[in-house]
Amino acid sequence: MSADPIQRIVDEIDRAADEIVRFTADLVRIPTVNPPGADYEPCARLLGDSLARRGFDVEYIVATERPEHTLRHPRVNVIGTRRGDARGAVVHLNGHIDVVPAGDGWTVDPFGGLVRDGKIFGRGVCDMKAGIAAAVFAAEAIQRAGVHVPGTIEISGTVDEESGGFAGVAWLCKSGRIARTRTDYVIIPEPLNVDRICVGHRGVYWSELTTRGRVAHGSMPFLGVSAIDAMTEVLAAIRRELLPVLESRVTTMPVVPAGARHATINVNAIDGGQPLDGIQTPCVADRCRAIFDRRFLIEEGFAAAKDELEALIRRTLGATGVEYELRDLMVVDPVLTPQDSPVVRALDGAIRRVLGTAPTVIASPGTYDHKHVARIAGIPHCVAYGPGELELAHQPDEYCRVEDLINATKVLALATLDLMSRAID
């Protein structure tokens, strides 16, 4: 047995490699598909039972007041707590247990938990059941190594991240279970590659534009006002006027891929006139709706992004006499953890030790549960770090390399140990 506690932890993780792979595959075999939010309870129980066996106090927190919680698809979250030295910090490792639907194109069973050629296959294995297994065995290795545990480790499995996390992490933050007063550091083992630390994400502004025209006989369209034509004017103006401006803006946040370092807008959906599959009658469309997904930069801010879109629509439709309405559907402000945060420094040190390379600090193009930790719980020290490649998430034949899983487990263990022993400000 090595005299160096860090080496003992690393050795324990190498010894546990088969167990870690098996636990990951067991999680994958529970098809926690969202929507609709299937099998959350058995998956939360599998994680909770595993934590209980490892000396954690386990709580199940059900988001009973959320509309998406139903008897058929209960929103069951699980948290385990293992207390060491009460003077140390509380480190919370959070993973979402939900996975997106398998979709087409698989050559293996998406819920079979197949392990082949050094890879574990399955829907949600990289996003992010491997990350949950890494968190569990990071804590377990600290225990097995017999080192002094300088603080408290919490591990949670939460629901619905893929659909916004309102019954999951947001619920735990709203109920005060994850809070600035009791939680010092949060690491979310999302699949962002084993040598990258993710410090935040851009903002999200979803809106719905409705244009209202005037119905007329389709043989005499000049007697009506087409809501679809009005919408196409707006879409054209977005392409002609807004896109070049958005493209010219670059954030200082280290967003990857580089294309997402700019502000962007996407048309999510469009619907107008008569139902496409219904019987058609000759009518000018008196109604059209589109949904916009605008990703704004921390330097822009929400108010300016919204004003800009509103002004463009006003300029385009103002003189036409077409009535319109712009409605906000969802706003998520950007989040950014400072690069000198202890949680970044602890992971940086652990990555150097385990991988022998300097990590890359990145920000995510899309949003994840970090927003709830930052905005609702008010915890400044939160990052995402975990095994698996971001590009494989939500793809057919999703897999996680066993080597990445083991390395990420080591990094999480060393970073957690380091953070627990840090003085709390």
Residue 96: CB minimum distance to Zn ion, A: 6
186's enclosing H/E stretch is strand 185-188
Tokens at residue 9, please? 């932890």
Residue 95: CB minimum distance to Zn ion, A: 8
Q: How many Å apart are CA 351 and CA 75, to the nearest integer?
A: 34
Q: Which is nearer to Zn ion, 88 or 110 (CB)?
A: 110
Q: Which is nearer to Zn ion, 151 or 165 (CB)?
A: 165
Q: How many Å apart are CA 297 and CA 261, to the nearest integer?
A: 8
Cβ distance 173 to 373 under 8 Å? yes
Q: Which of 387, 348, 369 lies closest to 200 in space, CA to CA? A: 369
Q: Is 127 in the site for Zn ion (CB under 5 A)?
A: yes
Name the one range near Zn ion by CB under 5 A: 99-107, 125-133, 244-252, 270-278: 125-133
Tell me which of 128, 134, 141, 155 binds Zn ion, using CB under 5 A.
128
Residue 164: CB minimum distance to Zn ion, A: 12
Q: Which is nearer to Zn ion, 121 or 368 (CB)?
A: 368
Name the one range near Zn ion by CB under 5 A: 127-135, 151-159, 259-267, 273-281: 127-135
How many chain residues are in contact with Zn ion, going by CB under 5 A? Answer: 3
DSSP 220: -
Cβ atoms within 10 Å, residue 281: 8
∠ CA 383-386-390 to the nearest 5 degrees? 100
Name the one range near Zn ion by CB under 5 A: 27-35, 190-198, 338-346, 398-406: 190-198
Tokens at residue 54, please? 């490892």
**Which residues inside 94-113 make contact with Zn ion, applying CB under 5 A?**
none
∠ CA 322-243-250 to the nearest 5 degrees? 140
Tokens at residue 337, please? 């953890």
Tokens at residue 10, please? 């690393």
Q: Which is nearer to Zn ion, 158 or 211 (CB)?
A: 158
Q: Which of 195, 209, 354 lies closest to 289 in space, CA to CA? A: 209
Residue 300: CB minimum distance to Zn ion, A: 25
Residue 100: CB minimum distance to Zn ion, A: 9
Q: Which is nearer to Zn ion, 190 or 286 (CB)?
A: 190
Q: Which is nearer to Zn ion, 251 or 364 (CB)?
A: 364
Interacting residue ranges for Zn ion, rule: CB under 5 A: 127-128, 190
